[in-house]
Chain A
Amino acid sequence: MFRPSRRHFNSKRHNQCDDKCFSTFQRIHLHHHREFHKYHQYFRYFRPAFVLFNILILYLLFNWVGFKGIGIFFAVVISIKEIIYFIFMLRLEKRIFTPIEKLKLGVDEISKGNYNVKVECDVPNDLGLLIYSFNEMAQKLYESERIQNEYEENRKTLVANISHDLKTPITAIQGYIEALLDENIKFQGDKDKYLKTIHHNTVYINKLIDDLFLFSKLDMQKLDFAFESVEIGTFMDDFMEEYKFDLEEKNIQFQYISDLKQEYRVNLDGKRFHQAFNNIISNAVQHGPENDLSIRIKMYLQKDYICLAIEDNGYGIAEDKLPHIFERFYRIDIERKKEYMCTGLGLAIARELIEAHCGEITVSSKEKQGTCFTIKLPILQEYRDESTT
């Protein structure tokens, strides 16, 4: 009969008891349980047999030694019984009472709201399984609370940022309207400028609200996507044609190169991808020089990904600012924020949209030389074997 030793159990339990170890332990324990019950059914015959045996011993002792022998017999039996009882109670305390007490302390901590608890108790029985499950539950609760706190902090920061970013254009609108209504002030020459400023700020607020709405939907994963399998080469050819016209009208040099040797398919929501791409290009236009700006887009294959490198010859981004540019409301060039409708959310939205496509976006830059954003999109599974050949 297989009897799992405590050594076997301990070595499994003390190695952090991952799922594989835990299921092994469960199998061993269940086997032991079945074996125990298999032989336990015979215990019901054991007690009456034991009583009859004791009566026989008493009778034989009485015949051989008399009452004195019976007294000694009872003394020995009672002593043995007490020792066994003592050992039994020790084991019971170690294997049942102490773990229950520790579990109770753990439950009390959870009820107080402290989820960062772990009950340290290795017992090779059902109680040990219960403690393991309890520890798992506590850990999940703790993680959930931590994520919730993080969301709450992010939400507070977002609300503070939104509040600030909305108050600024509202101040301008309110102030300029007050100036136009103020009879004491003669802004005859500047009236048009004031009206343009008011208009510009209302357009900016509208853009900010649109960006915030989109960003919050992305953040809560409530934005609907219409993914479809598209041939990326054909898609990009058409897409880049649109940009070519738009950018050349603004006197921006534009070049698109595809290094793909064959057609590949990716999962794409055309509208959302367009949005993300547009945000990156707008960013390049907003932060680039007014004259002689050039944007170069190159598409190439990298293992199981289609890569799109969007390179410009702008002013570049300082190294200390580079890690932050995908953060919401982060702006490098404060001066141009409203002039070019720069809400500080464009790149944050672009990153969320690309990541929703199971892709990634990275950036590299050198000051005074330019910046390169690289979008990576995974090729559809059935086309991956072809890509590696």
Chain B
Amino acid sequence: MKRVLIIEDDMDIAELERDYLQFNGYKAEIAQDGVLGLKKAMTGMYDIIVVDLMLPQKDGFEIIREIRKKLEIPIIVVSARNDAIDKIRGLDFGADDYLTKPFSPAELVARVKSHMKR
């Protein structure tokens, strides 16, 4: 079973993402802050990472940069920041996809599936 790490500080959204992913056959875990999220990600136990940009302690951009130094796993950014500059920055740092809030959880699952197939 593929494992997904969700790095999201808002528990309502994190649980929604987890529930949808689990229903679609993924095993999902939540990390509520940037430091814990990065620590979990670097263990290499996950097949895909879904990360918010505005996190406490460490922001999403930094996490993506750190992960990319060591791992090549797919990273999907989920953020309320809708500016092109944020999308460009996220993708430049190494994210594979960028989803803006509010988003459809079904769309998130579809994107996760798409990246897992590659």
Contact = CB atoms under 8 A, between A and B. Distances in A.
Contacts of B32: 334-335
A178 B106 contact: yes
A94 interface: no
Given A185-B23, A334-B33, A175 B13 contact: yes
A73 interface: no
Given A171-B102, A179-B20, A335-B9, A164 B56 contact: no
B104 A178 contact: yes
Indicate the size class of the contact surface on chain B.
Answer: 20 to 34
Interface residues of A, number: 23
Given A178-B104, A334-B33, A197 B12 contact: yes
Interface hub of B12, B56, B81, B102 (most chain A Cβ within 10 A): B12
A170 B102 CA distance: 6
Contacts of A174: 102, 104
A368 B33 CA distance: 21
A187 B101 contact: no
B11 interface: yes
A187 B102 contact: no
Contacts of A175: 13, 16, 102-105
B19 A171 contact: no
B56 A171 contact: no
22 contacts: A163-B82, A167-B101, A167-B102, A168-B80, A169-B12, A172-B10, A172-B12, A172-B13, A175-B13, A175-B102, A175-B103, A176-B16, A178-B104, A179-B16, A179-B105, A182-B106, A185-B20, A200-B12, A334-B9, A334-B32, A334-B56, A338-B12
Interface of B: 9-13, 16, 19-20, 23, 32-33, 54, 56, 80-82, 101-106
Interface of A: 163-164, 167-172, 174-176, 178-179, 182, 185, 187, 190, 197, 200-201, 334-335, 338
